Amino acid sequence: MAASIKFESLSGNIEFKQILKSKKVISNLFTIYYRKIEKELNNNKKVILSCVSAKKLGNAVKRNKIRRRLKMAARKAIIELNSSFNNKYKYAIFAKAKVYDENFQTLVEELKNKFKEGRYS
């Protein structure tokens, strides 16, 4: 199952501005912004997701580590959710400072809960 899901990033400033105006789910570790994909995707197993860490979270090394941890936790959460994950949306996950010190499995569980919570109708 893991090999069949393809992950893509958001591309361009316009896409980020659009997604920031849309719906969001807030956690104490991160904020997930999501927006319905306008055109239908050919591939049913494609997920459009970007992870963002602000400059105020630390130096470049710390920000990159936060982004990597968040991206891998999101991948693991999406794979564990399997068919209950809605890939008809594009996602931007904005990290908060607590992600850096948080246990990885806790991060995965929090992402799974928030992906389920936003059942996007």
Q: Which domains does the chain have, with CATH numbers?
A: 2-117 (3.30.230.10)
φ, ψ dihedrals at 6, nearest 5° = -110, 130
The sign of the CA dihedral 117, 69, 27, 23 is negative
pLDDT at 121: 41
Model pTM score = 0.87
β-partners of residue 80 are none
The alpha carbon of 14 is separated from its chain's Cα centroid by a whole number of angstroms, namely 18
56-76 tens-digit pLDDT: 999 999 999 999 999 999 999
Q: SS3 of 74, please? A: helix
